[in-house]
Amino acid sequence: MAFQRDSFHSIQERPPAQVPVTPKNREPALSLKRIRPANLLASVLILIAAFWSPSAPAESYPLPVAVTPLQLSGSHLNGQERSSIYTYAMSDAGPAPELIFINNRAYLIWNDSGSNGRISLLKPDLSGVEKDLVTIKGRQIADATSDGSSITVITLEWQIKKNSPEVHTAHIESYGTSGQARFRTRIVGTLSYDKEGDQGIDSAFSTFSVEWSGKEYATYFNTYRKWDDGVVHQSEYLALFDNSGKKLMKQNSPEGWTWNVSHSFRPKMAWDGMRFLMATVGDAYPRGLVVQSYVRNDSLDREVVIEVPKAAAGETYQYVVISTGDVYGKDGKGWIVFDSRLNRSDYDIGLIRTDSNGKASSPVWITRTSSARERIPRIHPLGDKFLLVWAVDTSGKTPDKAWFPTTAEMKTQIALVNEDGSISVNPFDVPATIRGANRLFRFPNGDAGWINDVTGDAKKMEIVRVSAPGSVVTDNTDTDSEDLNVDPDDSNTTDVVDPESIEYDPSLDLPILQSAMRGDSGAVQGFLSRGGNPNASYQGWHAIHYAAYYGHAEVCRLLLKAGAKPDVLIEGWSAMQLAESKGHPEVVEILKPVSRSRNRSLKPAPSPNSHLKLSKPLRDSREPAIRRRDLNGVDQAREISPPREH
């Protein structure tokens, strides 16, 4: 019986709850060139103002979390969707955007609505695109990495087939930070499988990774190949390239391998400092979660860490109830996260560590829930621990009916774990959307995050940012916060700090404004400690205005201690006058000693809600073009055989 590729299930999509989020940050302050944001887009704080009342209670999270808007220069691939496929049965669905930082500048790697890859330089405050550097016509970006001075991507060439793009060839290409091309090399691809040796990419269960080791690039993904038995088999493919894009060879054959695990699903890879560390799930040879490592000019090490029983009569690959989530490596060691419901009531999150020899440990279970279905975890360092992000299926479907959950059916959770897998911060919900294809990335100051492209707005994405706990505001002043409530003639109360003498990180402006409006004092404190500007503003509204207007006393104390200007005006109103008008006596008592006496403006008190011009785009239920493939109708699927033992 031929191996049949999975078809996309049709699921009624529901728009996710429109809930704003907030951050908190903590760790050593980051010193960047101070850049004042100018002319921010009118919707830049859409997540901040839409759902607060003037007396909104403070709300915070166990970790500092912020979600801020990112305005694009054109429409992105997910368009106006407000829900998308979170994950397919054995793949992560379409590629997600990524953020890469080089010399403290952010570069967005994304795909536009025409399925063309783009590389864009973002503004210093990360509110929008400053300049589009590269548009790769007719090729979609599947993954990206950097050697510290350039951006290298896997691109997927496509052709229109049955009125929609069908990917068929993978390339590795690299660009400098000005957009100049460094190289482009074809990896593998074919339009048909007519003769032995024809090899292409798996367009149904495609997951792609590219990594830089410091000396060479490695690409790792699913592939089809016609073998000497006359049929097409599916597996994974590892190939290595030097820094000029030249394919590395070993005895006149490509470095790496063409076929190893059959069939292979969700192959993920990382460089651990000594070797390329990989993880994938096989449904036949072998059957289970497979951990592999490869060092150039050395042999492949392969280990089946979790073995799944042989398929019973009538069962298919979908009964391999394990999904590779993510791989991270450093100092010769690795961390692999996955989900599984093997011998469990439903899907739980697990972690496997590899030692300096590449040998895998037994699984450590991060979650042990009987009533929740956690899917597709991601892992990234955060401080001296690891941030884990996954989503919980809230659809209510039984496990065997929940192969294609949508983002509207998923609830995002994050947790902090130690290197041994023990819990540092218990899992908690965050109102931020993630999908299976998202990759976590590192901000220059050590924060971690991802890009959400399921926003309901074709020209807008969201940056989700998470920071490590424990930082405090210590360097800006020696004045205790209690000392702010003293006689205004005391010079120690007004000369808290000179904010003009400090260099700030402009990318933290929006998280600070969001945190101040929400009243999350831990987040404000954390972002300030990491280089945030206490006088961050948006169209005249400063952080101190938001905190005073909504009655967040502790936030006001923190901002003043860090150097916020209490007398800056918004439409003629000071922060203290806003607090008075909204009935926040505690805030007034904090601000009065450091505020000048002035007559109240004759204008009505301004409101953040009326000040911001919010728009709610209409939902578009259409699927993005690249994900409208009719997999049942692909001709080559009928040629693909049952797995071949290796």
Paired residues of 76 in beta bridges: 112
**CA distance from start to end of the chain:** 19
Whether 10 maps to a domain, the answer reads no
Alpha helices for 542-584 (secondary structure H): 543-549, 553-561, 575-581
132 falls within a domain: yes
57 and 71 assigned to the same domain: no
What average pLDDT does range 597-621 have in this prediction? 55
Record the tokens describing residue 148, joined without a space. Answer: 């510290």
The reported pLDDT for the residue numbered 587 is 96
Do 312 and 262 belong together in one domain? yes
Range of weakest confidence among 118-132, 316-330, 539-553 = 316-330
Mean pLDDT of the chain: 81
Any domain includes 248: yes
Separation of alpha carbons 22 and 47, rounded Å: 9
Q: Are residues 73 and 221 in the same domain?
A: yes
Of 450, 495, 325, the C-alpha closest to 68 is 450
| Three-state secondary structure call for residue 279 | strand
Is 12 contained in some domain? no
Which of 300 and 73 is assigned the larger pLDDT?
73
Would residue 611 count as lying in a domain?
Answer: no
Domain region containing 154: 65-466+621-639
On whether both 56 and 128 belong to a single domain, the answer is no
Q: Count structural domains, the chain.
A: 2
Residues 555-584: what's their mean pLDDT?
94
Amino acid at site 432: A
Q: What's the CATH code of the domain at 367?
A: 2.130.10.120
Q: What pTM was estimated for this model as a whole?
A: 0.80
The distance between the two most distant Cα atoms of the chain, rounded to a whole number of Å, is 91
> Residue 206, Cα to own-chain centre: how many angstroms?
19
% pLDDT > 90, the chain: 61
pLDDT of 503: 80
* Six token digits for residue 321: 């109830």
Does 47 have pLDDT greater than 50? no
Q: Two tokens at 139?
A: 């090729």
Q: How confident is the model at residue 25 (pLDDT cuts 50, 70, 90)?
A: very low
In the predicted structure, residue 538 carries a pLDDT above the cut 90: no
- Asked, for residue 135, whether it belongs to a domain, the answer is yes
Q: Does 277 lie in the same domain as 131?
A: yes
Q: What is the pLDDT of residue 315?
A: 64
Name residues whose C-beta falls within 8 Å of residue 8's C-beta, 6 or more positions apart in sequence.
85, 88, 404, 627, 629, 631
Is the pLDDT at 53 greater than 70? The verdict is no
Encoded tokens for 373: 């279905």
State whether 409 and 288 are in the same domain.
yes
Q: Is 334 contained in some domain?
A: yes
Residue 600, SS3?
A: coil
Has residue 610 got a pLDDT over 80? Answer: no
Q: Is residue 331 one of the residues assigned to a domain? A: yes
* Four-CA torsion 567, 568, 572, 578, nearest 10 degrees: -70
Beta bridge partners of 176: 150
552 and 626 belong to one structural domain: no
324 and 443 share a domain? yes
Binned at pLDDT 50, 70 and 90, residue 636 comes out as very low
Look at residue 10 in the predicted model and tell me its pLDDT.
Answer: 25
Average pLDDT over residues 523-549: 92
Higher pLDDT, 64 or 541: 541
**What is the pLDDT, as a whole number, of residue 488?**
37
CATH number for position 590: 1.25.40.20
402 and 329 fall within a common domain:
yes
Instruction: Provide the pLDDT confidence category of residue 55 given band limits of 50, 70 and 90.
Output: low
Residues 565 and 427 in one domain: no
On the question of pLDDT at 179 being above 50, the answer is yes
Judge if 52 and 73 occupy the same domain. no
- Tell me what the mean pLDDT of segment 568-591 comes to: 94
- Which band of pLDDT confidence, cut at 50, 70 and 90, is reported for residue 205? confident
365/441 same-domain check: yes
The answer to whether the CB of 264 falls within 8 A of the CB of 235 is yes
